[in-house]
Structure 1
Amino acid sequence: MKKLAILMVLVLSSCSSIQLVENWKSPDIVIFDAYKVLVVGMTQNTEARENFETKMTKEFTKRDIEAMRSLDLFDVEFTSSEKSEQEIDAVEDLLIERDFDAILFTKVTGYESKKTFKKRMSEVDGIYGRFRDDYLEHQDIYYRDDYYDEFMVYHAETSLYCICVGKERQLIWRGTIDITDPQDINKTIDDYIKLIVLALEEQDIIFRKDRKNEITGL
């Protein structure tokens, strides 16, 4: 997990808004391969859903793994109303009939508003010899509404489920991700997908790392 965290920093150093909070893999799984995957993005934002599912599907296709967007399987009527346990079981049975062996399911599980103090240049050194100086420098905490930066944190989760024939339909991997104050939805989706791909590569789940020597390239 420590190695994975370091790699996350290296790959996503240009975007500090996405963080892998939890990375769980079934203890019964060493290596997991899939040959046909359904990509599901659960959100009411149709544009974001299409963007995510399309780009995520391309990541599988680049690796010669067949994948399909849920947009191409679930019609508008299906997602516009609550479904029963039996109806979802029927969907899994249909997927098995069509030779799917895995589902990659991504959803936003919640969000919250947070505040942080705005940083001042004087806080870089931030050592005050007298109470007077410290008080005068920061007294506007009392009355300035804009002294705080307010931002949103979205909590997302991506899970990989096996729906293989003759095997128990089980959770293979789950990653919990925090997205802080996304400004550009397209870039956020791109960075989110990079994070998921990297996490799966590190766990030997579907995706495989390039085993070339990182220094020589051989």
Structure 2
Amino acid sequence: MKKLSILLLVLFVSCSSTSLVENWKNPDIVLFDAQKVLIVGMTQNENARERFETKLQKEFDKRNVEAMRSLDVFDVSFTDSKKTEKELDDVEQSLLDKDFDAILFTKVTGSENRESFLRTLAKLDNYKGRFNDDYLRNQDIYYDDDYYEKFDVYHAETTLYCICEGKDRSMIWRGSIDVTDPKNIEKTVDDYIKLIVLAMEEQDLIFRKDK
């Protein structure tokens, strides 16, 4: 049954505008459930961010898991200026105070070619840090107008972080995804979310396959 599920995942991505390049899961985690998840989409494209966070929130709603968009949780000014490590620690603590226990963090990155992107992935193999570290390293996505160039393939990463009280606040899962020539934002977002859901179902992370 497991092999069949993996085959279906491969067949899905082969006919989609998105494809899964890397699928890493913390080897110490077998199952992971969350009661309240913050959805963060990091991109300069506000239309894409709103569409992505809203549609992904609906996937959580279908499964009776509470989830909120970063657009509704963060102040309007949050992404207008760079944040320090101390400020992000305060944000994380405020999320704990509001009973959040997980963050699903997606960021869109670019690469001149696939080879250079794969070299970047190799470096990521050693990164198993926290949400704060990830945000700090990539927040230029919001501000640098030259961050994106015209690429035939865009690269994105979705990472699940645990921020559970009394537990290590660390990475649970990371999926690295290629997005091919995303001219249609709505279709691209739909394909991306379907792929995230399928990948997380396969890993028994929050989402569960229908019986």
Cα distance change, pair 151–88 in 1 and its aligned pair in 2 (3 A) = closer
Unpaired runs of 5+ in structure 1? 115-149, 212-218
Unpaired runs of 5+ in structure 2? 115-149
Distance 1:4 1:176 in 2: 19
Is the 2:24–2:173 contact (alpha carbons within 8 Å) kept by the matching residues of 1?
A: yes
Distance 2:171 2:110 in 1: 21
**Deviations 1:179-218, CA, capped at 9 Å, x for gaps:** 111121100000000000000000000000112xxxxxxx
Equivalenced residues, count? 175
Query: Greater share of helix residues, 1 or 2?
Result: 2
Q: What's the CA shift for 1:151?
A: 5.9
Is the 1:25–1:174 contact (alpha carbons within 8 Å) kept by the matching residues of 2?
A: yes
Is the 1:4–1:199 contact (alpha carbons within 8 Å) kept by the matching residues of 2?
A: no
- Structure (1 or 2) with the larger CA radius of gyration: 1
What's the secondary structure of 1:76's corresponding residue? Answer: coil
Distance 1:35 1:22 in 2: 26
Is the 2:101–2:165 contact (alpha carbons within 8 Å) kept by the matching residues of 1?
A: yes
Q: Percent identity?
A: 68
CA RMSD of aligned residues (A): 1.9
**Deviations 1:80-133, CA, capped at 9 Å, x for gaps:** 11100010111110000000000000001223368xxxxxxxxxxxxxxxxxxx
Distance 2:151 2:5 in 1: 27
Distance 1:158 1:3 in 2: 24
Query: Greater share of strand residues, 1 or 2?
Result: 1
Query: Scaled by the length of structure 2, what TM-score is found?
Result: 0.78
What's the secondary structure of 1:112's corresponding residue? Answer: coil
Q: Which residue of 2 aligns with 1:80?
A: 80
Cα distance change, pair 76–40 in 1 and its aligned pair in 2 (3 A) = same
What's the secondary structure of 1:95's corresponding residue? Answer: helix
- The one-letter code matched in structure 1 to 2:111 is Y
Distance 1:182 1:175 in 2: 18
Is the 2:57–2:69 contact (alpha carbons within 8 Å) kept by the matching residues of 1?
A: yes
Q: Which residue of 2 aligns with 1:184?
A: 184
Is the 2:162–2:169 contact (alpha carbons within 8 Å) kept by the matching residues of 1?
A: yes
Q: Which residue of 2 aligns with 1:10?
A: 11
**Deviations 1:136-171, CA, capped at 9 Å, x for gaps:** xxxxxxxxxxxxxx9611010000000001101010
Q: Which residue of 1 aligns with 2:31?
A: 31
Q: Which residue of 2 aligns with 1:125?
A: none
Q: Which residue of 2 aligns with 1:173?
A: 173
Q: Which residue of 2 aligns with 1:94?
A: 94
